[in-house]
Amino acid sequence: MTLLVSALLVALNIGLIFLLLAAPVGVRTFRISKLIPVGRERLWSALWPLGDNADWSGEYIGAEPVEGDSGLARLKLRWESRDGSPIERTVRLEDVVQGRRFAMRVVDDSSLDPSFWSNYRETTDLALRDDGVLVTLTRTDRYRGLAFLVFRYFALRREMRKLKIWAETGKYRSGGLFEHPASQVGFAVLSAFLLWPLFGLTPGGLVLAFVLTSVVALHELGHMAAFRLMGHRRVRMIFLPLLGGIAIGGRPYDSRFEVAFVALMGAGFSAFLVPLAIASSSYASAAGWSLAAMLLAALAGCMALFNIANLVPVWKFDGGQVLRQICPSPPLLALASFLLLGGFLAVASWAGMQTWFIAAVGAVFAILSLLTAGGGIKPRYELKPIGVFDRFAIGAALLAVFAIHGFGLIWAVSKIA
């Protein structure tokens, strides 16, 4: 029965990751409409990229037509490019009926490779009604995985709601309910309760669920700290119930060293905490505080297991991100990946995990690597190369972080078993 349940959980997770990140969704179009009780001229001035109120949301901080081609416009966005300057985007405006509708395609972008926009098209339509204007926004693109499609859909819904508020009040409300700190704390609590059944519906199981949720938050905090050290002025964490968290920087990556450093610091930050949790647990045990000692041992074990799992050489995981930056050739990348995966399986064996479980984990990681390979977003320009010294420094740090978490996992299992 345990084997069957584990197999079902593994299959469910692989299927979910495939749907979110790798499923060939193809070209998809979605549209959102809302009736807004204001004049059409006001809405047109906000939605037309060259309109007087095109900066209503702060997304555009500048726009101008391109000389020599009336159908092209150059937009300056509030988001930062790699060097900290605003991202610039050149768009082609088509099917324009002044005051009523237009379509837009992206032909150049200072941050992303033009291939990212090859299938993208958006349309805006303003239809008069007796009690206002029916605004219809349409987005079309080719998607690999459902995650980005779902993100764009809800982002457009929020944009429409904010447009209605601005049109009626003249005020723009930045942010949203989803990324509000209170909402993120709520999502973290919800995630802990969703994990509770996996640890047993007991008070101890609930404590372990909250411990694991805290481990996820600490991991993402490490990524956020790395972003700040790399010069990102704005960073944030998005917590997704059951799936984990995502740390988001304030601009695109500028160098391969930055990618490797930010990826490694998720587990690297917790590598400072695992020895502290081990020492605290040993002290509590010596003082006769058995419950506290067990809780701290569980914290060390969860922290070590979660972080060492993130270091496996899967394309989208932290370990895969680090290895791709520091290994200069495909053969060396393949060798390093197999060695790191072998180290993970060796730690699992030393921790006393069953052979069938270790084999299943290895197969899962191999499948995940194949499913998510090649799904990254290509930047407009190549990242700055990483130097030889930085390459060896990151490699040494990766081995040190892996060793700390590996020791922490083996120690925790010996104490809890």
Does residue 53 sit in the same domain as residue 150? yes
Alpha-carbon dihedral 96, 97, 98, 102, rounded to 10 degrees: -40
Does residue 73 sit in the same domain as residue 192? no
Does residue 90 sit in the same domain as residue 194? no
Q: Is residue 379 part of a domain?
A: yes
Does residue 51 sit in the same domain as residue 9? no
Does residue 226 sit in the same domain as residue 283? yes
Does residue 257 sit in the same domain as residue 225? yes
3-state SS, the chain, equals CHHHHHHHHHHHHHHHHHHHHHCEEEEEEEEEEEEECCCHHHHHHHHCCCCCCCCCCCCEEEEEECCCCCCEEEEEEEEECCCCCEEEEEEEEEEEECCCEEEEEEEEECCECHHHHCCCEEEEEEEEECCEEEEEEEEEEEEECCHHHHHHHHHHHHHHHHHHHHHHHCCCCCCCCCCCHHHHHHHHHHHHHHHHHHHCCCHHHHHHHHHHHHHHHHHHHHHHHHHHHCCCCCCEEEEECCCEEEEECCCCCCEHHHHHHHHHHHHHHHHHHHHHHHHHHHHHHHCCCHHHHHHHHHHHHHHHHHHHHHCCCCCCCHHHHHHHHHCCCHHHHHHHHHHHHHHHHHHHHHCCCCHHHHHHHHHHHHHHHHHHCCCCCCECCCCECCCHHHHHHHHHHHHHHHHHHHHHHHHHHHHHC
pLDDT of residue 3: 46
Which pTM value belongs to this model? 0.81
Does residue 131 sit in the same domain as residue 222? no
Phi-psi region of 184 (alpha: psi -120 to 50; beta: other; left: phi over 0): alpha
- Measured between alpha carbons, how far is residue 61 from residues 49, 121, 179 in Å? 11, 21, 23
C-alpha–C-alpha distance, residues 293 and 368, integer Å: 36
Q: Which domain holds residue 224?
A: 2-21+179-416
pLDDT of residue 5: 46
> Contact, 311 vs 340, CB < 8 A?
yes
Does residue 158 sit in the same domain as residue 194? no
pLDDT of residue 358: 63
CATH number of the domain within which 31 lies = 3.30.530.20
C-alpha–C-alpha distance, residues 14 and 330, integer Å: 26
Estimate to the nearest angstrom the gap between the alpha carbon of 175 and the chain centroid.
18
Does residue 128 sit in the same domain as residue 276? no
Per-residue pLDDT of the chain (417 residues; tens, 9 = 90+): 444 545 555 566 667 777 877 788 899 999 999 999 999 999 999 999 999 998 898 888 888 888 877 789 999 998 888 877 889 999 999 999 999 999 999 999 988 888 889 999 999 999 999 889 999 999 999 998 888 898 899 889 999 999 999 999 988 877 666 666 777 777 778 877 877 777 777 887 788 888 888 888 899 999 999 999 998 888 888 877 766 678 888 888 889 999 999 999 999 999 999 999 999 999 998 888 888 888 898 889 889 988 988 888 877 788 888 998 998 888 888 888 888 888 888 888 887 766 666 666 666 666 666 655 555 677 888 888 999 999 999 999 999 999 999 999 899 888 776
pLDDT of residue 278: 92
Domain end residue (candidates: 137, 169, 201):
169
pLDDT of residue 176: 64
Domain count, the chain: 2
Nearest of 34, 42, 76 to residue 59 by alpha carbon: 76
Greatest CA span in the chain, whole angstroms? 81
Does residue 49 sit in the same domain as residue 196? no
Nearest of 157, 112, 137 to residue 48 by alpha carbon: 137
Does residue 258 sit in the same domain as residue 368? yes
Does residue 226 sit in the same domain as residue 366? yes
Q: Is residue 174 part of a domain?
A: no
